[in-house]
Amino acid sequence: MTNPIYIVGPCSAESREQVLRTAKELAAVSRALGVPFIFRAGVWKARTSPRTYQGAGEEALAWLSEVKQQFGMDVATEVATPEHVEAALKAGIDYLWIGARSSANPIAVEAISRQLSAISYKPKAVLIKNPVNADAGLWLGNIERLEKTGVKVMSIHRGCNHQPCWKMAHEVRLARPDIPMLLDPSHMSGDAAQVPVLMSKVEELGLDGAMIEVHCCPKEALSDNAQQITPTCLRDTLDPIACRLRVVSVFYPSDGSEELNWLRAEIDELDERLWDTIAARMDVSKRIGEWKKAHGVAPLQPERYQEIVERIKSKVESHNVETDFALRLFDLIHEQSLKEQE
């Protein structure tokens, strides 16, 4: 792929001034890098708490139309109902995306698909995020539902609960390499500082671009302020990529290492979870040590130790793990746990 797709803009359209200011700054970055942007902003926000910002609603569609007219960028917004689809397309929105909460509900996706089929004016593409749960089958099913509309379909990998879930994305990529896949580093990390770091995965994994939350003043954002970056940060993140694309004509790893990079990404994520689990176990061990000390109980309890050993032996048989390896690993963890207790 010679032209990566970048869909950038604030999490929410909060005001006309905020939308136009962000768009103006992003248009300047686009010109400086020679990279086209699609401007994004959420109009209807599916928030956990009703006390948080729910979006400006249909009024904000006019602000996106102004962005399109003033700065020449295509515009995108999230839809969750057939009514959203109709209102957005009537306002001239070019791209629609379906969020992770809606993607978890196949009935909702089917309803949106029926509306897309019925309406005469179509978007340039509809993008579907992975569900909030790590379900590759559901994600693939949603892609099929949307393909029936005749509209171009793209996928967005945003992870689950600020975890990458590379295995799920890998499965979808292998099953449907014909469907463009974008990375959403903003939701994947929930941390603006991690967005530039995660962007390296776009090239490593041969993805087709990214959807990135960019706000003119993230600290003042009414939603997801911790994960939004500034236009300046976006420029600094994309500049090296843009330079490489001017030199080479392909975006994918030229040495065929894309598949290996996917597998390594899965390993790296599993390692992170492993260390997080070990750290959590040590914390509990420390609290157990405090309880034992307060109640005059010795740190080492042979009966408890043997109980865990027997449980491990029965567990590893169904997990295709060598018993000797599992017990040696547990002994190391148990030894450190005793130190924490002491």
Q: What is the pLDDT of residues 209-233, one digit of tens each?
A: 999 999 999 999 999 899 999 999 9
Q: Residue 310: is its pLDDT beyond 70? A: yes
Query: For residue 319, what pLDDT is reported?
Result: 87
Query: For residue 320, what pLDDT is reported?
Result: 87
Query: For residue 246, what pLDDT is reported?
Result: 63
Looking only at the bridges linking them, the beta strands covering 95-98 and 5-9 are: unpaired
Instruction: Give CA–CA dist 218/264, Å, rounded.
Output: 32
In the structure, what pLDDT confidence band is assigned to residue 250 with cuts at 50, 70 and 90?
very low
Q: What is the pLDDT of residues 118-161, one digit of tens each?
A: 999 999 999 999 999 999 999 999 999 999 999 999 999 999 99
Instruction: Give CA–CA dist 216/322, Å, rounded.
Output: 54
Gyration radius of the chain's alpha carbons: 24
Query: DSSP secondary-structure letter at 177?
Result: T
What CATH number does the domain located at 258-341 have? 1.20.59.10
Q: Residue 253: is its pLDDT beyond 70? A: no
Whether 209 contacts 6, CB under 8 Å: yes
Quick one: tokens of 57? Answer: 């609603």
Q: What is the mean pLDDT of residues 181-188?
A: 97
Beta carbons within 8 Å of 75's beta carbon, 6+ residues apart:
38, 39, 40, 41, 64, 65, 67, 68, 92, 93, 94, 95
Which residues, listed in sequence order, are joined to residue 75 by a DSSP beta bridge? 39
In the structure, what pLDDT confidence band is assigned to residue 4 with cuts at 50, 70 and 90?
very high
Whether 5-247 and 258-341 share one fold: the answer is: no
Query: For residue 243, what pLDDT is reported?
Result: 75
Query: For residue 45, what pLDDT is reported?
Result: 75
Query: DSSP secondary-structure letter at 78?
Result: E
Q: Indicate the average pLDDT of the chain.
A: 93
Q: Residue 49: is its pLDDT beyond 90? A: no
Instruction: Give CA–CA dist 2/175, Å, rounded.
Output: 22
Instruction: Give CA–CA dist 4/96, Å, rounded.
Output: 18
C-alpha distances in Å from residue 122, one per residue of 84, 155, 316: 13, 18, 53
Query: For residue 113, what pLDDT is reported?
Result: 97
Q: Residue 249: is its pLDDT beyond 50? A: no
**Angle, CA of 333, 338 and 342, to the nearest 5°:** 150
Query: For residue 264, what pLDDT is reported?
Result: 95
Beta carbons within 8 Å of 339's beta carbon, 6+ residues apart:
none
Whether 65 contacts 92, CB under 8 Å: yes
Instruction: Give CA–CA dist 203/232, Å, rounded.
Output: 21
What CATH number does the domain located at 5-247 have? 3.20.20.70
Whether 333 contacts 281, CB under 8 Å: yes
Instruction: Give CA–CA dist 242/256, Å, rounded.
Output: 21
CA 307, chain centre distance (Å): 40
Instruction: Give CA–CA dist 73/25, Å, rounded.
Output: 12
Query: For residue 47, what pLDDT is reported?
Result: 67
The proportion of the chain whose per-residue pLDDT surpasses 90, expressed as a percent, equals 85
Which residues, listed in sequence order, are joined to residue 42 by a DSSP beta bridge? 12
Query: For residue 317, what pLDDT is reported?
Result: 81
Quick one: tokens of 66? Answer: 């102004």
Q: What is the mean pLDDT of residues 62-84?
A: 97
Q: Residue 80: is its pLDDT beyond 90? A: yes
Q: Residue 2: is its pLDDT beyond 70? A: no
Domain ranges of the chain: 5-247, 258-341
Beta carbons within 8 Å of 259's beta carbon, 6+ residues apart:
none
Beta carbons within 8 Å of 114's beta carbon, 6+ residues apart:
82
Residue 199, SS3 per DSSP: coil
Quick one: tokens of 315? Answer: 């567990």
Q: What is the pLDDT of residues 56-69, one digit of tens each?
A: 789 999 999 999 99
Residue with tokens 């009024």: 59
